[in-house]
Amino acid sequence: MQDVVADPAAHNRAAWDKYVEEGSEWTRPVSAEVIERARAGDWSIVLIGHEPVDRSWLPADLTGKDVLCLASGGGQQAPILAAAGARVTVFDNSPRQLDQDQLVAARDGLELRTVLGDMRDLAAFEDATFDLVFHPVSNLFVPDLAPVWSECFRVLRPGGTLLAGFLNPDAYLFDQDALDERDELIVVHKLPYSDVTHYSAEERATKFGADAALEYGHTLTAQIGGQLAAGFVLTGFAEAPHHSDASASYMSGYFATLAVKPG
């Protein structure tokens, strides 16, 4: 059933630009009130689902910390971290998502840098540039993860931390129509999953829409084992239910890891 997608990154760039136009949940910038509270030290950010990340996973004081928000455009996490005192760079595949961060920065007088690119290639940054990489649920939009983890390791300083959120691959076991329309969990797919290998282009267009982002269900070996293979030491793990489908009653939909680059 597999068909060829010449450039998944280009396809997903266009898809996310369109999601911004449509006002998708993950493209809506935070309010000026949220930024004002962050400047006063009252803030939280989301790594998986809708739950704030454990603050113990983040530096107690962000002032002067160099932070890379990786595949994290949308005007949500990065502006909050900048308001809390960090020197923030947002790296994302969607120009329109990066525009949302610039919108908040201009509106609220924040300094942050935006860089366009594929999360698998961070050549825009020198080795050992950042103290923290914040990588919310987004690597389901690339077909291979090893470059993501090796690049995160490279751009972090010794002792730096990676916070990564990702989808439980079991979420891709189920028929999406049955899940969305009837809250039924009907197993139809083998893992690992890919929109490209499990559906033809015509089937994808019918099921998800021709312009929908391509998704890839990576194994835990690729997610967690990949971080270990890149050289990271895992020091934290968390999980959360999926926020929008029936699987939440039965299993965790999201996982998160805290990893350290040895000093």
183 pLDDT tier (thresholds 50, 70, 90): confident
**Strand 130-135 relative to strand 51-52: parallel, antiparallel, unpaired?**
unpaired
Give yes or no for residue 149 having a pLDDT over 80.
yes
> What sign does the CA torsion over 11, 139, 48, 108 have?
negative
pLDDT tens profile 125-135: 999 999 999 99
Give yes or no for residue 1 having a pLDDT over 60.
no
How far CA 251 is from CA of 46, 166, 167, in Å, comes to 19, 14, 12
Separation between Cα atoms, residue 204 and residue 43, nearest integer Å: 39
Separation between Cα atoms, residue 19 and residue 48, nearest integer Å: 19
Phi, psi dihedrals of residue 10, rounded to the nearest 5°? -65, -40
181 pLDDT tier (thresholds 50, 70, 90): confident
pLDDT tens profile 188-203: 999 999 999 999 999 9
Separation between Cα atoms, residue 46 and residue 113, nearest integer Å: 20
More confident call, 108 vs 245? 108
pLDDT tens profile 35-85: 999 999 999 999 999 989 999 999 999 999 999 999 999 999 999 999 999
CA atoms within 13 A on the CB side of 224: 15
